[in-house]
Structure 1
């Protein structure tokens, strides 16, 4: 089975090479929209909501107090959460539809926007809870298709994981829960692509995804994801080793020359990382989800428009290279004149203790960091 999977990955990689620039521009464009427009808007909305109620921050420590004394804030934040889920759904829909259209040489920006709007119109209020459950289950696998910063905060805090791993019973329960969630995620991984490609309602998509992974078919999905993930890690490890090793040798050259190559190599790392991310997403979608779609005839006008979009994709790449190179140059020139500041996050260094605890602070103190950051907690004795 693994040989067949690797052969299929090779075939999809060759197909990826034909349109790599368009795929790359799709992923970069979606990411820029999220980073430069969507995230600032959500941050602004959250800030306005909290400031209106004079709430300085939200954490697990004050969430009960907020729910008890500020019900309108809770309602506003729930509305914001609903909007977040909608944006995440549209984000993944944009990637799925874009990959399909690029592979068929019929991609246009206008056409993609129209299809995303149609996807939004098909959603119903009852679908929101289903989407929330879906994204929680599929987040570990969704990162292979597209890593969204909008869901980056949905994770178990590190200090809680540290506590769980120190208790055998809790560790066993945690591992069991993770295995169950992984199994459910694999069984439901087709749900969103079915909603996007075949326009199914969430319940129907969940049901069909469950049927598609009956028996050992879910294991085949897991093996494909593992193979793609392993190859991506292998490529990135070799890539980083090569670039960093080259820079280590170049650092023996005169400082201006070494700084110039440092800028170039940093740019290569940034573009290479994004390209590998694009490859993993495209190959994953092509292997698992594109077979769900039905081929539609491509008109001559669509092919002509697609060629125009390839020119646009090239312009995006040029702009990205120029902006990244300028930013890298500014960053490296600044770092040459200032010693890097070391900050211990939550009072630990290289996992030398439990976060925000006195024993960890004592161990970290011996390393003499410039600053130590920690979260202040109110103890029982105040």
Structure 2
């Protein structure tokens, strides 16, 4: 085991020296590839999907209507499937191009970008349906770890929404299951690390490659894990030291050289951006080389060491000059962005919205005592939920079954409003009567608290439910300047048609393509929310509310993404976070805020 660690350490030092010698070429390869993906491929695929939806007269695509699209719009579904397959093809091309490019630089075969592209395209001839299935299975199996090992913005939206994660960790047996699956996925990722380069570089059939990879890596997981940790730990430590050093230096400028603090912070942000890019490039190169070397060691691909040629100093120098030029372009091109960020020009004040009318468990959700307690903190809106009852009234309740809060195993449609409002709801050590919407609305009006009303729908709703709601409450909500949102697109469409002055938002738990609906805006789960989405919404004169945001770092991130409202269970934390952001924090603190808010791939100015 000790000899294995020594060999791995020797290999790590060798590849680190290689990176130091050819960092310019690696930086250009990965940066240019990411630029092409971010500025050309992703917009092209997005535009194609939007045109398909427009021609098929499908206003949106999310988790809740995929089945409906397949059954009612099969042609549209087929075109979307083709775009999905094209996405996989681009993912394959990106991995193949980077893999071949890194090997080209490492082995000094001196292929140009054009020649690399041609070789990559030739690899497409081996991309059979079997290979596609294997690639999909590969990413599904190693999902917990694959985004670290083989990161690509093309697959950035293939993430698990936070509300699903919260649901899982709210049930101990699901928590145990997900931990086991995560550990299994991590082990598979380590075990199958050489599979991807073997599929791309090997000339054998894909099934045979998988079988050979599985057999060859038997008993080698610990060695591969040690090699991966040898890359991850130095990268993590370097990142921490970099941020800590810049923070300390900027703190010194803030305190001792205030007249130079803004200029210093602008330069430090540019340096931080470039340094993080270089660290990312190093991390990517080391992992790709590790995967390839593993494939060679296990004889999954031929060892190509024989083709190594002596590096030409002139070529190496040219790559370094080009990399320096690109770095200068990045710094100069983003300096105005950094200046605006540091002076607060990019930060807007989102609306504060209390989720289900509570703040940090100060009462029972969706009850009047919790509403009155939370209203004292003066949120812009209190978000609450309502269901139709058996006698076609409206009760304030989130769940489709009353058992969790009241102990009564029944749905709102099985009881009359009078029966439901006799029940006592218990949560967070508090107890309160279940309220009718009339009671809740009257209580809100009494303390001048605006509401964001979520209309819950089920298959048991009466056909006239929306007619009754509009007749009873539409004008009253308009006078109170309340708003409405719903997961049901029919509700949104009906309200926008019949009460156009009432602001009505469409709730989307997962955003694949920006929707084209008459909604006043969108309530989006934070996992797939990005500055690109908010920019598109604002271009359509629509607003974006982010839900459910309970962590201060995520609150800052949503603010930087220009979200118009933030729905939270932690209203006090949200208000405190926004106050700190508006109280002109030190430039040193803004460096850390930048990492939380703008350091994701989608929000980076580069």
TM-score range, shorter chain: 0.7 to 0.9
- Is the CA contact (8 Å cut-off) linking 2:192 and 2:214 kept in structure 1? yes
**Aligned counterpart in structure 1 of residue 118 of structure 2, from 114, 117, 123:** 114
Look up the SS of the partner of 1:126 in the other structure.
Answer: helix
Q: Which structure is higher in helix share?
A: 1
The reply to whether residue 315 of structure 1 matches residue 319 of structure 2 is: no
By how many angstroms is 1:308 displaced?
4.6
Would you say 1:14 and 2:92 are equivalent positions? Answer: no
Query: What is the deviation of 1:145?
Result: 4.8
- Tell me how large the CA RMSD over aligned residues is: 3.4
Q: What do residues 282-322 of structure 1 show as CA deviations (whole Å, max 9, x unaligned)? A: 2223334136232243679xx66x95586256325413422
The match for 2:293 among 287, 290, 294 is 290
TM-score (norm 2): 0.55
Question: SS in structure 2 opposite 1:19?
Answer: helix
Q: 2:366, 2:238 → 1: CA distance?
A: 41
SS at match of 1:86: helix
Say which SS state the counterpart of residue 305 (structure 2) adopts: coil
Alignment partner, residue 128 of structure 1: 132
Contact 1:21/1:313 (<8 A) preserved: yes
**Contact 1:23 1:99 survives alignment (8 Å):** yes
Aligned counterparts of 2:376 and 2:198: Cα–Cα separation in 1: 55
What is the CA–CA distance in structure 1 between the aligned matches of 2:166 and 2:68, rounded to whole Å?
26
Give, in angstroms, the shift of residue 199 of structure 1: 3.0
Distance 1:168 1:307 in 2: 61
* CA pair 287-181 structure 1, distance change in 2 beyond 3 A: closer
Q: How does 1:71-220 map to 2 (within 5 A)?
A: 71-107=74-110, 108-215=112-219, 217-220=220-223
1:45 pairs with one of 27, 45, 48: 48
Report the equivalent of 2:348. Answer: 341
**Structure 2 contact 30–281 (Cα < 8 Å) conserved:** yes
CA distance in structure 2 between the aligned counterparts of 1:314 and 1:214, rounded to whole angstroms:
44
**Equivalent residue number for residue 329 of structure 1:** 336
What CA deviation, in whole Å up to 9, does each residue of 1:24-58 have, x standing for no partner? 11110110010011000011011111111222221
Shift in Å, 1:134: 1.7
Aligned mates of 2:253, 2:380 — CA distance in 1? 30
Residues 109, 309 of structure 1: 8 Å contact kept: no
Residue 338 of structure 1 and its aligned partner are, at CA, apart by 3.7
Q: Matches of residues 29-44 of structure 1 in structure 2 within 5 Å?
A: 29-44=32-47
- What secondary structure, in the 3-state scheme, does the structure 1 residue paired with 2:165 have? helix
The answer to whether the 8 Å contact 1:138/1:189 transfers is no
Distance 1:369 1:253 in 2: 39
> In 2, are the aligned partners of 1:127 and 1:202 still within 8 Å (CA)?
yes
Task: Kindly indicate whether residue 25 of structure 2 is the aligned counterpart of residue 25 of structure 1.
Answer: no
**Could you say if the C-alpha distance between residues 366 and 200 of structure 1 is closer, same or farther in structure 2, counting changes exceeding 3 Å?**
farther
Contact 2:266–2:335 under 8 Å retained in 1: yes
CA contact (8 A) 2:231 2:287 kept: yes
- Say if 1:56 and 1:181 are closer, same or farther in 2 by CA, change over 3 A: same
Q: What is the aligned partner in structure 2 of residue 258 from structure 1?
A: 261
Q: Kindly tell me: are residues 247 and 155 of structure 1, through their superposed partners in 2, closer, same or farther at Cα, counting changes over 3 Å?
A: same
User: What secondary structure sits across from 2:265 in the alignment?
Assistant: helix
1:209 shift after superposition: 1.4
CA apart distance, 1:115: 1.3
Query: Relative to 1, partners in 2 of residues 1:147 and 1:344: Cα closer, same or farther, differing over 3 Å?
Result: farther
Q: Which residue of 2 aligns with 1:224?
A: 227
Q: TM-score, normalised by structure 1?
A: 0.84
Q: CA deviation at 1:255?
A: 5.8
Q: Distance in 2 between matches of 1:366 and 1:271?
A: 46
How far, CA to CA, are the matches of 1:367 and 1:25 in structure 2? Answer: 52
Identify if the C-alpha distance between structure 1 residues 220 and 125 changes in structure 2 by more than 3 Å, giving closer, same or farther: same
Spell out, residue by residue over 1:51-79, the C-alpha distance to the aligned partner (whole angstroms, 9 max, x if none). 11222221112222212211112111111
Tell me the equivalent position of 2:444.
none
Shift of 1:186: 2.7
Q: Is the 8 A contact 1:188 1:209 kept in 2?
A: yes
| C-alpha separation in 2, matches of 1:369 and 1:115 | 58
* Structure of larger gyration radius: 2
The Cα offsets for residues 149-206 of structure 1, whole Å up to 9 and x where unpaired, read as: 1111222111101111111111122222223333333332212101223333321221
**Deviation at 1:139?**
4.6
Distance change (3 Å), C-alpha of 1:240 and 1:335:
closer
**Hey, what's the Cα distance between the residues in 2 that align with 1:210 and 1:298?**
29
Change (3 A) 1:201 1:369: farther
Q: Which has the higher strand share?
A: 2
Greater relative contact order structure (CA < 8 Å, 6+ sep)? 1
Residues 143, 185 of structure 2: 8 Å contact kept: no
Contact residue 187 and residue 218 of structure 1 kept, 8 A = yes
Which runs of 5 or more structure 2 residues have no equivalent in the other structure?
A: 297-302, 384-451, 466-606
Q: 1:90·1:116 contact (CA, 8 Å) conserved in 2?
A: yes
The number of residue pairs the alignment matches comes to 372
User: How far 1:346 moved relative to its partner?
Assistant: 9.3
Q: What are structure 1's unaligned runs of at least 5 residues?
A: none
After TM superposition, the structure 1 stretch with the greater mean CA deviation from structure 2, 5-14 or 153-162, is: 5-14
**Hey, what's the Cα distance between the residues in 1 that align with 2:89 and 2:378?**
46
